[in-house]
Amino acid sequence: MQIISLLLLSLLCLVDFSSADISAGVGICYGQLGNNLPTPSKSTQLIKKLKAKRVKLYDATPKILKALENTNIQVSIMVPNQLITNISTNQTLSDTWVSTNVVPFYPQTMIRYLLVGNEILSNPPNTTWFNLVPAMRKIRYSLEKYGLKKIKVGTPLAMDCLESSFPPSNGTFKSDVRDKVIKPLLHFLNETNSFFFLDVYTFFPWASEPINIALDYALLNPTNVTYKDPVTHLTYTNLLDQMLDAVFFAMERVGYPNMRLLIGETGWPNGGDIDQIGANIYNSASYNRNVIKKITAKPPLGTPARPGVNVPSFIFALYNENQKPGAGTERHFGLLYPNGTNVYEIDLSGNLPESEYKPLPKPRNNEAPKGVKLYCVAVKGANRTELAGALDYACGQGNETCNAIQPGKACYKPNSLEWHSSYAFTSYWAQFRSSGGTCYFNGLATQTTKDPSSRSCKFPSINF
């Protein structure tokens, strides 16, 4: 009887851990690219107030890990991209990283996931790609060395790891990484019972094709819009399920039909630049609330291709981060403003009824502006040294970007740094916007509808 009791106890322990490991629940991504964010201790209080079950960090900041002690919040930490190559060939370096960034905080801080790098396949082709799995194996060995076997090792990839995602049944990994990166990665994740971490945003495909993709379909709002996969005949009622199933089918195609998926990031921007449609509080709240409702549903909903399967998830992000580079939406994914107040009401536990939420401000930018001209000008009071550097960058891109501000040309006068920078920024943006150029320049530029042209100098513009 004693032996049987011990066996039953062991089995219960395994079940407890397994169910806790894959339980449905929503976490929050805690980014720190802001110069006005609350302290780690205050942030931890705010995370608890949001009722997050998990928190994902993009490093292993000691003060944050200390603040998360004894909170019962599962924590994900990250090895930075720049260390991957060195760790992949150096077990001592891996051991040192784990002994410094994990051992002092575990188990008081519930570190459950150790992510190696962040979306490295989204960067230009480089040797880091092929060092990823060797580095993950080194980190896994280090964790085992220190007796930390419950911590899962993974790496977040974005949807651009796929060569094809439509229809979902045609989900296929990129051919240049499929055999040398993806297959070894899936083999490692499978043998260690870990997750395929996926960063997935319906906002970006919708924003690039707002005519062909219904907004409500992208927001997971109830709608009559559906899509039937012509191969599987599965019916989709929202874009998120389509994207997730494309990855499930891609994994199945290379021999891993039962790989567990974890959404490492998802969300919708609550604001953005003038030219970015759909980025508003109403849509952000609708999407995130709908995702939470889907993920926390009991019994689990899963996806059409994987019905009833739990998909643990992280919402991006905790704060609006004012130092994130890129388009304006990048700085407006937060559930909270930097002062700690809510951008809109939200409950990550999924327990608060929708009827309890206050009305949201109606969206005003769900369609592209018509008859509007946009310009990109220097921010007033910008640091002059940084502004000069940005001016040199814009002019250095070629395509006669700055010909008009050369001595004797139409836009040379007034001969001021601000004037020349505004022209250069607008000229650069007009030429390179279609290929990813933004009106940001590390916070030195801003969009405006006010034409800065003078009688003799005509600024180029973005026309809607």
What is the separation, in whole angstroms, between the first and last Cα of the chain?
Answer: 78
Based on the residue annotation, tell me whether 265 is a catalytic residue of this protein. yes
Q: Report CA-CA distances (Å) from 140 to 110, 146, 437.
A: 17, 10, 39
Q: Report CA-CA distances (Å) from 209 to 9, 202, 214, 307.
A: 54, 11, 9, 28
* Catalytic residue chosen out of the listed positions 119, 321, 386, 418: 119
Peptide bond into 299 cis (omega under 30): yes
Based on the residue annotation, tell me whether 321 is a catalytic residue of this protein. no
DSSP-derived pairing of the beta strands 445-448 and 373-378: antiparallel
The contacts of residue 336 (CB under 8 Å, 6+ apart) are 46, 318, 319, 320, 342, 343
The contacts of residue 421 (CB under 8 Å, 6+ apart) are 378, 382, 387, 390, 391, 394, 444, 445
* Catalytic residue chosen out of the listed positions 265, 345, 367, 400: 265
Give dist(CA 340, CA 3) in Å, integer: 53
Q: Which residues are catalytic?
A: 119, 265
